[in-house]
A = this chain, B = another copy of it.
Amino acid sequence: MLKQIHSVKNPQVKQWKKLLTKKERDLTGTYIIEGFHLVEEALKQEELVLELIVSESVDLPPRWDYGSIPFVSITEEVAKAISETEAPQGVFAICRQESMSAESAKTFLLIDAVQDPGNLGTMIRTADAAGIDAVIVGNGSVDIYNSKVLRSAQGSHFHLPIIRGELTEWVNQLNQRGIPVYGTALENGVVYTEAAPAEAFALVVGNEGSGVSSEILTKTKSNLFIPILGKSESLNVAVATGILLYFLKQS
């Protein structure tokens, strides 16, 4: 039987809203996504979506295959209550927190303490576009399941492993495996065009203001910088990530 929720006071609605906090997401091992594009991308993955939540005013595209996934019908009022966007599309899904394995990965993006959710999401999307095998997000960063991170990444969470991790441990491990690790640093760095593109590499990018932590910068093979050819002080961290990843992958 179709489950229907008509009231914003329903305890289930309260529970969904709680998923907007990292604490509740980690406690339940789940997260919530919204919008046609994201939900469609999630449905393509096996056993990722635990529950589909759809406003009664919405017609789902016939191509969507949601098999036996539990389906909850909600009112527009409920959709507004659980949405984080100004104009909710009325389509949501509860997903399991799970990451693909990075075991066979050869190219890595390591992200150190990036705070802005739009930046982190765009960096994940950029790594995906550049064909990077795995993204490791350090502990000081905004949560990878933050709703704005998910929106900015436009479904890339479902395309490659996005793993929360301790970056110094990852860098040690990559060094042991013989994979060259490049840091990024404005000072005492090497112009990025001097790095040798390779089949396997890891790039570490860092916080919008303070960059990559100095502890990590001492453990890298070398630290790259992008020259500023005009008068701005720096590049946006997601833009810098795109320039570096495409250089390392393509040349």
Instruction: Report A's interface with B, CB cutoff 8 A.
Output: 118, 122, 125-132, 152, 154-156, 159-160, 193, 226, 228-236, 238-243, 246, 249-250
Contacts and interface: CB of A to CB of B under 8 A. Distances in A.
A43 to B, nearest CB: 15
Contact of A230 (B159, B229, B235, B242): B159
B232 A128 contact: yes
B228 A129 contact: yes
B242 A129 contact: no
Nearest to A228: B129
Contacts of A240: 242
23 contacts: A122-B239, A125-B232, A125-B235, A126-B236, A128-B230, A128-B231, A129-B226, A129-B232, A129-B234, A130-B229, A131-B228, A132-B230, A152-B236, A155-B232, A156-B231, A156-B232, A159-B230, A159-B232, A238-B238, A239-B239, A240-B242, A242-B242, A243-B246
A130 B230 contact: yes
A127 B229 CA distance: 9
Contact of A160 (B127, B156, B160, B230): B230
A230 B160 CA distance: 9
B193 A250 contact: yes
B239 A226 contact: no
Contacts of A243: 242-243, 246
Question: Assembly of this chain: how many copies?
Answer: 2
A129 B250 contact: no
Contacts of A128: 230-232
A153 to B, nearest CB: 8
B242 A229 contact: no
Contacts of A118: 118
A141 to B, nearest CB: 18
A243 B129 CA distance: 12
A165 to B, nearest CB: 20
Which of A128, A231, A239, A241 lies at the interface centre, i.e. has the most chain B CB atoms within 10 A of its CB? A239
- Which of A228, A235, A241 gathers most chain B CB within 10 Å? A235
B193 A160 contact: no
Contacts of A235: 125-126, 129, 242
Contacts of A239: 122, 126, 238-239, 241-242
Nearest to A233: B154
A191 to B, nearest CB: 9
